[in-house]
Amino acid sequence: QVQLVQSGAELKKPGASLKVSCKASGYTLTSYKMHWVRQAPGQGLEWMGIINPNGGSTTYAQRLQGRVTLTRDTSTSTVYMELSSLRSEDTAVYYCARDNWKWSFDCWGQGTLVTVPS
């Protein structure tokens, strides 16, 4: 079955960088685009960006432009999200989510909690 497994929780210092992985199984990574979405504690969902694993093209949310980078390793069926210059407002659960070619997210990772103390 389709599954997205993310890396574990992280505790980061302000100003540091973060890299979260999302390993896909049950399908061919390059056949579907992948989104990243985050959710601050007690808050709603925020779309961060999308990567097409077939070629690596990306689009990012304007408010994160310059701080977020999405990459992929097709040999391991893994997508990565890097976020730099971390601040306390980046404390959130980060999700990868597969695009189902219907402009929506049909399969989600389990989430990765990232904590950046103030």
Does position 109 interact with another protein (CB under 8 A)? The reply is: yes
Look at residue 88 and give its three-state secondary structure.
helix
Q: Give 63: exposed, middle or buried? Use CB within 10 Å, 0-12, 13-18, 19+.
A: exposed
Cβ proximity to another protein: between 50 and 51 the closer is 50
Q: Which residues pair with 11 in a beta bridge?
A: 115
Give the phi and the psi of residue 62 in degrees, each rounded to 5.
-60, -40
Cβ proximity to another protein: between 8 and 118 the closer is 8
Size of the site for another protein (CB under 8 A): 22
Of 55, 102, 117, 118, the one binding another protein by CB under 8 A: 102
Question: CB under 8 A: which stretch of 9-17, 25-33, 56-64, 67-75 binds another protein?
Answer: 56-64
Output the furthest CA–CA distance in the chain (Å, rounded). 40
Residues that bind another protein (CB under 8 A): 35, 37, 44-47, 50, 59, 61-62, 95, 97, 100, 102-106, 108-111
